[in-house]
Amino acid sequence: MEENISENRRASTKIEHSSEISKAPFQHFDAQLNENPQDCKISAKSLRDVTSLISHSGTHMKEKPYACDMCSKAFRRCHDLKAHLRIHTKDKPYTCDVCSKAFLWSHHLKTHLRIHTKEKPYACDVCSQTFAYESSWKMHLRVHTKERPFACDICSKTFRRSHHLKTHLRIHTKEKPYVCEMCSQAFTQSCSLISHLLTHSKEKYYSCSVCSKAFTLGSHLKRHFLIHSKEKPHVCEVCSKAFADRSSLKSHLVTHSNEKPYTCEIWGKAFTRRRSLLVHLRIHTKEKPYSCDVCSKAFSDSSSFKRHLSIHS
């Protein structure tokens, strides 16, 4: 690999200095450079200088004279090849001054910086919710437009997100990529595997220092702590309802879109919230994590357990 990278770097140097690379593809732009060095005659795009115009002009050419020696991908401009070579050399020249994370491309760094600056330049014209990334903004707009561009070729069910369609397709293909290492049982979705893993262990390693309630997962304890703090920093932009954690807000937002992205692989029943699916799955796993201290009767969901406790009180 190091040898290939070394060869590629030499190829990059050759591109910079070799006189063999011809500028012939740009010769027919000479006339327009003399007339108006800032305007492209083909696309009418205005460029700041002659160099920029020459670089831009290459986008109109079908010829791609700059080829990568490692993967044979070709480019119209030498600059594009140089940028591409970073994929092979693993060179990440753009570094974040805040967290030191490095990136291949300058625009990736620019987008990343919004995590630190809290900048959200993309605003929804309907509900005024703002977003840091254009992709998140476009995804949000589908809540209002009801657009569901990803359709299943088998049953015609539509989805707003491509990964929801990808997960759904496993119902038809019977693909179950998530396998339990303890019993080899396989699942279509990762959340189904997580729920299943709890059936193998009754251990609860994470205990709340305030009320002593114990949890199997550290993330559950962290979320539980917010009950004691009463803090609800995550507010729904649509109805102003507040939540203690981001995941609860995310689950709530789906109620405004009527989308049900969580599907039971056994029955095909769909749910708005992931937690609702996990509770439902206990019907199939026979898991009953809520046990009465008085009569030892067990329940699969907390609401049924709480109703039962009222019998003893």
SS3 annotation, 138-153: HHHHHHHHCCCCEECC
Q: Report if residue 129 sits inside a domain.
A: no
With respect to residue 74, please indicate whether it lies within any of the assigned structural domains. yes
**194 inside domain:** yes
Largest CA distance in the chain: 94
pLDDT over 50 (residue 263): yes
Residue 84 within a domain: yes
Using DSSP's 3-state secondary structure scheme, residue 103 falls into strand
Give me the CATH number covering residue 76. 3.30.160.60
Distance (Å, whole) CA 279 – CA 286:
11
184 is in which domain, residue-wise?
Answer: 150-200
Give, in degrees to the nearest 5, the angle at Cα 129 between 126 and 131.
125
pLDDT reported for residue 255 = 77
- pLDDT number for residue 252: 81
Assessment of whether the complete model's pTM goes beyond 0.85: no
DSSP 46: B
Residue 184 lies inside a defined structural domain of this protein: yes
Q: Which residues of 22-46 are buried (b: 16+ CB within 10 A; e: fewer)?
A: eeebeeebeeeeeeeeeebeeeeee
> Is the pLDDT confidence value at 224 over 50?
yes
From the CB of residue 113, how many other CB atoms can be counted at a distance below 10 Å? 15
56 assigned to some structural domain: yes
* Predicted pLDDT at 18: 38
Ranges 82-86, 152-156, 182-186, 249-253, most confident: 152-156
Domain boundary among the residues 39, 72, 89 is at 89
pLDDT at 305 over 50: yes
Domain count, the chain: 3
Mean pLDDT value of segment 205-231? 79
Q: What's the mean per-residue pLDDT of the chain?
A: 78
> Which residues is 262 bridged to in the sheet?
271
Residue 155 lies in a domain: yes
Grade residue 22 by pLDDT with cuts at 50, 70 and 90. very low
Q: Residue 265: is its pLDDT beyond 70? A: yes
| Cα torsion 222, 223, 227, 232: sign | positive
- What are the tokens at 78? 């030498």
Model confidence over 274-303: pLDDT tens digits?
Answer: 788 888 988 888 888 888 888 888 888 888
Q: What is the pLDDT of residue 30?
A: 47
Is residue 98 one of the residues assigned to a domain? no
Cβ-based burial of 177 (10 A; exposed 0-12, middle 13-18, buried ≥19): exposed
